[in-house]
């Protein structure tokens, strides 16, 4: 199977419990780049079957009418719920699956094989549904992050999480006394960046828990973007606009990038150039082109 997934704008990905009609209705007008209709952690066991139907109905009703891409976070492949989730929600209009507790890229390949059959059943183009795994939620996952190197069919991004990982290893907290991420979770953050880059897809930062702290979220997003992340997961509707703004290039950044690209275009044989008294070389040109591409997505 050849994936038809191309890079998508995934600055903000908002979780919406698939069993909550009020929150689903409100999400229709949210500015998030993607809505993640959640069947996993935010839905209790007794409501999961009904949540599947709600997710499928929402996709059928809204996929062609709203700007957001529609994803579904299914239950982990290691649970008996995953196949039922997929059978219910792979319908025309579904943009992607968020896969929790992925242990390696092999889980992406396995999920892709399931999607092949379900897309065919639904009359969809094979390869239309992309996959974004939460790639650091188990101890095994941390040891297998190198498996994402190279092209992985259907992969459209990689995100990470600290909460499930701390539960998996029995940690009391994922933060040290000063509030900073403990070394294991800082490593998970860094490995997400490296794995996504090696796979050629955007790294997507984890959620910012304190949804009332708008200034803190904006600052965290700016730091995240400087480090290389291209977007962030949101857990509250009010976070989406803040995330979108923080991960978009500023006018000053765009102007500087345009100057770098123009300077090298005027001197195509140059290895280094001077702009505003600073030495600029080919890595700066690569970064400038990335900045301009982000403004066009």
The residues, any chain, with a CB within 8 Å of residue 161's CB and separated by 6 or more, are 134, 136, 137, 188, 206, 207
Judged against a pLDDT cut of 70, whether residue 297 lies above it is answered with no
The ranges assigned to domains in the chain are: 12-248, 252-296
In the prediction, which pLDDT does 258 show?
A: 85
Tokens of 111: 């999920």
- Picking from 185, 143, 195, 149, the residue whose alpha carbon sits closest to that of residue 165 is 185
Can you tell me the distance from the alpha carbon of 253 to that of 288, in angstroms, rounded to the nearest whole number?
9
In the prediction, which pLDDT does 287 show?
A: 79
Judged against a pLDDT cut of 70, whether residue 243 lies above it is answered with yes
Judged against a pLDDT cut of 90, whether residue 195 lies above it is answered with yes
Query: What is the pLDDT confidence band of residue 14, given thresholds at 50, 70 and 90?
Result: very high
Judged against a pLDDT cut of 60, whether residue 2 lies above it is answered with no
Assigned fold of 12-248:
TIM Barrel (3.20.20)
The residues, any chain, with a CB within 8 Å of residue 56's CB and separated by 6 or more, are 88, 89, 91
In the prediction, which pLDDT does 1 show?
A: 42
Q: How confident is the model over 88-144, as pLDDT tens digits?
A: 999 999 999 999 999 999 999 999 999 999 999 999 999 999 999 999 999 999 999
In the prediction, which pLDDT does 203 show?
A: 97
């Amino acid at each position: 199977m050849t994936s038809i997934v191309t890079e998508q704008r995934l600055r903000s990905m908002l979780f919406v419990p698939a069993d909550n009609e009020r929150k689903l209705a409100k999400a229709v007008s949210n500015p998030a780049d993607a809505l993640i209709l959640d069947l996993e952690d935010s839905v209790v066991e007794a409501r999961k079957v009904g949540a599947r139907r709600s997710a499928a109905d929402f996709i059928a009703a809204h996929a062609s009418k709203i700007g957001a891409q529609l994803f579904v976070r299914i239950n982990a492949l290691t649970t008996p719920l995953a196949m039922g989730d997929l059978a219910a929600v792979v319908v025309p209009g579904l943009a992607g699956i968020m896969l929790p507790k992925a242990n390696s890229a092999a889980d992406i390949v396995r999920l892709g094989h399931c999607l092949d059959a379900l897309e065919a059943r639904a009359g969809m183009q094979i390869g239309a549904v992309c996959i974004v795994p939460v790639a650091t939620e188990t101890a095994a996952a941390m040891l297998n992050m190198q498996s994402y190197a190279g092209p992985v069919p259907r992969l459209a991004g990689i995100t990470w999480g600290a909460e499930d990982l701390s539960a998996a290893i029995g940690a009391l907290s994922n933060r040290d006394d000063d509030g900073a991420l403990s070394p294991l979770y800082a490593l998970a953050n860094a490995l997400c960046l490296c794995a996504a880059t090696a796979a050629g897809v955007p790294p997507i930062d984890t959620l910012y828990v304190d949804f009332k702290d708008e200034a803190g979220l904006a600052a965290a997003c700016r730091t995240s973007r400087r480090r290389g992340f291209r977007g962030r997961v949101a857990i509250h509707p009010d976070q989406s606009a803040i995330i979108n703004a923080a991960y978009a290039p500023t006018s000053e950044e765009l102007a500087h990038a345009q100057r770098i690209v123009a300077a090298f275009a005027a001197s195509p044989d140059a290895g280094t150039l001077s702009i505003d008294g600073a030495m600029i070389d080919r890595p700066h040109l690569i970064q400038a082109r990335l900045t301009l591409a982000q403004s066009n997505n």
